[in-house]
Structure 1
């Protein structure tokens, strides 16, 4: 009986430990890249672009077609009247009806020799679409990593807030104990005790808000990375001791070259050039050669034959409207070039603005550290003065409130720096 109980306890402990998920930031990123549905759709778009490129490549090969049919007519398809003149009988009419039923079949293969470069440019355009798909996947991956970090650091900051609340609760418990003893001794009034209890209730209300926010943040991260929020836990060491911004700085030119959005703008210009060539190709002749096989049986006798042929098609009527379409394509090409330059300028502004935000966020951390140190010393001094009877309870509670605010402000500054740094990594193509 004892053995079975020990085995059951061991199995329960194993299940509980196996169910817990303690993930680092890098593990959350990897899970998000694997399970995020938006990224999955982006990868499916890339797969569709690959299929389009492979389909365009088949245009280089001969186009083979086959056709066949059987017909049964009510009357012969060939109707004629003949007359025969015989001696002593005169002219005798002889109506003729032929081809009442038959079988037809053919197979042809046409190899394009020149199609106005539409096939070549079409394949290049499809291959460019595949490259665009890869860049879009890269851009989506960067956005997913940034959003994952935002959820991650939000959870960590809320946990730090709970740590601060726990420390404040211990301080208030000690203050409550001292005030309660003072009330019993008749040194202070009951109003002081009520003031401490009101502060404790305020802290309890803040704890409830933070715990609810932590729950929702865990649910968001779990949905994003495909995990169970009930067992999700995070490992984040050095949250309040981040590296300096200079470690992560890259030059503006290097960042622009890495940025997927700028390369997509360049691909847009290249794609428009291919479309212009496609419009020009529509105005050029098309030349092809082919071979075929024909079989028919329309008079109860099967006939089959092979043939070779060459074809030339000149789109004369398309030259009038096609010239305007070509000019329109050239205008759209210049528009794409303007869009590329504007994208480069706006991306440069975004990168510089984000870098300024990173530096500002780090400066806030340094300021908040000094604020926490000052608030901690202020609280310690006011606790001593209160115990000595030289300051009022109101001063002590104010010092405790300032301490709480400074700790929360430091936590918020650290989270803001981490998030701004994650955004800077994205806008610099890393």
Structure 2
């Protein structure tokens, strides 16, 4: 035991000079922080949180009016023509126009009334100046269809009734403000908000998993390092026994076979030391990979496996897990998203109402004879769209959304059952590991006492060499079992924190 304490002292001394020799000493908290900063899954989850937050802010802008500018340039090949041929338009005095109807004033242009009696308001001057009069009859000349011919005509050529320019410019500014959409914008914003919370819960789950794996790797290094020291201490015991046996052999007390037995055990121990050292190297490489250091970094952990067990808090671990686990929070947000999805499908039955305001510029200017300059005007309007019939498309999508909500609720029920089972399993494993540590401590104490008694009896000649070797092997196995039990206990403590959502 003195040799074991001596080996432990030199191990601690080597750790103490680690800073000088180029070794990097890491504490558990440093490893946790480095792992969170390095792990790609955590970084990806954090980016998902950022993206979800941006989408939420984007959805929030849908409540506000949108302003846009539009522009159009068109080059045409032909002008528009109002006439298909040249026209002859009659020229008549303004008194011949009825101001009420806009047509010819029959009150002064017709010599007779509809009943055949003379028209007292008949004006022969206007009548004659309007129509071409046949002197023989005193009546207007008529065409082949019996229509009277006018006295004077003006010529309207076809090419003078064309309009339009080769280059057409249209520009404007538009403002649109939704007034009522049946809840579409509100539910879209809620979905984005729940999506951000879902991303945060998933990020928290990734962080918890990374912390658990980091602590697992950290305590595994501690356990393997203690096993290396244990094997070194066991070899030291074999060396001391070999020295004593060589003295006994020189005095003729024992035979050479006893020396060979010790050498065989030492060879086995040296092989086990090599395996333990290789295991320690691999464990350190796994920890380096977890915290983002180069795999060949020479690290030393600052902690060792605790000899004392932490008191287990008395609490309802299942309720704590259901309240803290990020998986439950993620499923809660999934249910909220599904509920908003149902409301979103219901809003498709509602009308959409929006306010629009525009200011448009045109060139050619339609407000000034289509001249080649810009003219503009504003307009304000309210648009409404009312869905009536589309072969029950909205009904099918609403049914699908309700099914998705039901699926999310069923997943929540399943998750609660699995988490409750997981918590109970973690509690049982921790209680078992506590019992293993207690039993291993008792076994080690018995093995130490057995080794002491056997060693004393061997020195007095009452025990054989094989008995000492067996006692030393029993002591080594008991110590190794205690290291394994302590590591298992430490990992089960971390696992209980993980399954209850308290590993932060």
- With normalisation by structure 1, the TM-score equals 0.90
Structure 1 distance, partners of 2:472, 2:48, is 56
Shift of 1:90: 11
Alpha-carbon contact 2:228-2:273 (below 8 Å) kept: yes
Q: What is residue 310 of structure 2 aligned with on the other side? A: 243
- Runs (5+) with no aligned partner, structure 1: 1-13
Q: What is residue 330 of structure 1 aligned with on the other side? A: 402
411, 415, 419: which is aligned to 2:491?
Answer: 419
Structure 2 distance, partners of 1:258, 1:88, is 99
Shift of 1:255: 2.7
Tell me whether 1:357 sits opposite 2:421 in the alignment.
no
Shift of 1:16: 5.1
Q: What is residue 5 of structure 1 aligned with on the other side? A: none
Structure 2 distance, partners of 1:53, 1:45, is 12
328, 335, 354: which is aligned to 1:262?
Answer: 328
261, 268, 276: which is aligned to 1:195?
Answer: 261
- Which secondary structure does the structure 2 equivalent of 1:167 belong to? helix
- Which secondary structure does the structure 2 equivalent of 1:270 belong to? helix
Judging changes above 3 Å, is the alpha-carbon distance between structure 1 residues 320 and 144 closer, same or farther for their aligned structure 2 residues?
Answer: same
Structure 1 distance, partners of 2:54, 2:329, is 22
Q: What is residue 7 of structure 1 aligned with on the other side? A: none
Shift of 1:331: 1.9
Deviations 1:194-216 (A, max 9, x none): 22112111111111111111112
Q: What is residue 33 of structure 1 aligned with on the other side? A: 36
Q: What is residue 374 of structure 1 aligned with on the other side? A: 446
337, 345, 359: which is aligned to 1:293?
Answer: 359
Structure 2 distance, partners of 1:366, 1:84, is 118
Shift of 1:360: 0.6
Relative to its length, the structure with more helix (as a share) is: 1
Tell me whether 1:252 sits opposite 2:318 in the alignment.
yes
- Which secondary structure does the structure 2 equivalent of 1:396 belong to? helix
98, 102, 117: which is aligned to 2:163?
Answer: 98
205, 223, 241: which is aligned to 1:139?
Answer: 205
RMSD over equivalenced CA pairs, Å: 2.4
Deviations 1:116-140 (A, max 9, x none): 1010011011111111122122222
Map 1:157-196 → 2, pairs under 5 A: 157-196=223-262
Judging changes above 3 Å, is the alpha-carbon distance between structure 1 residues 162 and 336 closer, same or farther for their aligned structure 2 residues?
Answer: same
Q: Which moved more, 1:146-155 or 1:188-197?
A: 188-197
Tell me whether 1:23 sits opposite 2:89 in the alignment.
no
Alpha-carbon contact 1:250-1:428 (below 8 Å) kept: no
Shift of 1:287: 0.5
- Runs (5+) with no aligned partner, structure 2: 1-16, 90-150, 365-369
Tell me whether 1:346 sits opposite 2:412 in the alignment.
no
- Which secondary structure does the structure 1 equivalent of 2:307 belong to? coil
Alpha-carbon contact 1:122-1:278 (below 8 Å) kept: yes
Shift of 1:83: 0.8
- Residue correspondences, number: 416
Alpha-carbon contact 2:18-2:300 (below 8 Å) kept: no
Structure 1 distance, partners of 2:286, 2:246, is 44
Judging changes above 3 Å, is the alpha-carbon distance between structure 1 residues 263 and 376 closer, same or farther for their aligned structure 2 residues?
Answer: same
Deviations 1:288-307 (A, max 9, x none): 01100111113413221100
- Which secondary structure does the structure 2 equivalent of 1:75 belong to? coil
Deviations 1:150-185 (A, max 9, x none): 011001101110121121011000111122223333
Shift of 1:101: 2.0
Structure 2 distance, partners of 1:21, 1:360, is 35
Tell me whether 1:125 sits opposite 2:191 in the alignment.
yes
Q: Which moved more, 1:418-427 or 1:228-237?
A: 228-237
Structure 2 distance, partners of 1:15, 1:335, is 56
Greater gyration radius: 2
